[in-house]
Structure 1
Amino acid sequence: MSACRANRRNRNRRRNSVAAIGAALATLALSACGSGGTSGGGGETQFVQGQGGVSVVKDRAGRQDAPELSGKTLQGEELNATEKFKGKVIVFNVWGSWCAPCRAEAKGLGKVARDYKDKGVEFVGLNTRDPDPAPAKAFEKQFDVPYPSIFDSAGKLILRFPKGSLNPQAIPSTVFIDRDGKIAARAIKPLDEDELRETLDPLVAEK
């Protein structure tokens, strides 16, 4: 009888462990569309956590160079945003049509993109993990997205970013690039209009 009770206790412990692991994984899955290590692994950065979860590099001398933002758009056109928008502030947003937080932030991104275009700010999207561009195109149409998105299903463009500057598995995420082509801020979370404006206004004011 003692052996039977011991076996039952072991089975119960295993079931409880499995249940606990499952609950933890479910919690992580609900927290965002994706999460993981920083782009290219660890690395020294000058980011300082700001309000609303947006990390900024206030010291312009400490900002890292942004990589070339280029590739084919969802419409099949070649786009080199780094060259086309040289001298402008660029808001680079990583998203997927399957991602609920991406849908939640899409309308605000579009509104701020329109409001800041005359201030020398350009928005560029990076659509990732959509194996086919059709759902992403439908997303753009549904939310009236006014800016282009590079189609990069495998997320290779994200890996061009310097170590520690961007999380390749955090979707949505947004990087703010200053007029000198340097990474000035990042958010590894969905952003609302106020957060976008609060991050952009100091960059627009830089001379």
Structure 2
Amino acid sequence: MALTACQSGGTSGGSSDTKFVTGTGGIDTAKPADRKPLPEISGKTLEGKPLDLADYTGKIVVVNVWGSWCAPCRAEMKHLVKVANDTKADGVQFVGINTRDPNKAPAVKLEKEYDVPYPSLYDPMGKLMLRFPPGSLNPKAIPSTLVIDRKGRIAARALKALNEKDLKRTLEPLIAEK
């Protein structure tokens, strides 16, 4: 799998084929008519509990791909936690995908350190990221953050560590969609 590990930013180009708009600062978005469905993403959490993202249809879902070994992932964690707590009442559910951690212990420790209020799927080999179709707003780097609309479609993708301002700016139009 060709992933850029722990990249600090950048964007991938949008085109008429992909129907997504290359955003500034590494955040790409898709208009509602051009959004692709989220593939089946399920597995066991870091705590060993089953989790299927399809269970969150009807909510906006923020999916953050991270690793405990990744400095940008660690830097964005406090912002993700803050926005997860701030937007829960708006029907926003956060889910992590912990990847490339061969041992769960560092990931669990990091979640406790930041008091992460949402579950993370444990994906040590990165297989969940391979489920995203090429040409979609797929996670191509670590960290990556996807925003899924209430209909289960990929609405936005960030290929960089996010701060609170960028994440809220990305979520606001989706929260406004009914």
Q: TM-score, normalised to structure 1's length?
A: 0.77
Give 2:95's aligned residue: 124
The answer as to 2:57 corresponding to 1:86 is: yes
Distance 2:45 2:153 in 1: 23
Look up the match of 2:34.
Answer: 62
Which structure has greater helix proportion?
1
Among candidates 149, 152, 156, match of residue 181 of structure 1:
152
Question: Offset of 1:47 from its aligned partner?
Answer: 1.5
1:205 is aligned to 176
Structure 1 ranges of 4+ moved more than 4 A = none
More strand by share: 2
**Quick one: percent identity of the two aligned structures?**
58
CA distance in 1, matches of 2:139, 2:47: 26
From the superposition, tell whether residues 137 and 117 of structure 1 become closer, same or farther in structure 2 (CA, over 3 Å).
same
Alpha-carbon separation, structure 1, partners of 2:8 and 2:110: 16
Question: What is the CA RMSD across the aligned residues, in angstroms?
Answer: 2.1
2:118 equivalent among 127, 131, 147: 147
The answer (yes or no) to whether the contact 2:9–2:26 under 8 Å persists in 1 is no
**Unaligned residue ranges in structure 1 (runs of 5+):** 1-27, 38-42
Amino acid at match of 1:202: P
Q: Which residue of 2 aligns with 1:158?
A: 129
State the number of aligned residues. Answer: 170
* Shift in Å, 1:171: 0.3
Structure with larger Rg: 1
Q: Is the 8 A contact 2:27 2:156 kept in 1?
A: yes
Write the deviation string for residues 96-154 of structure 1: whole angstroms up to 9, x where unpaired.
Answer: 00000001000000000000000000000000000010110001011111100000001
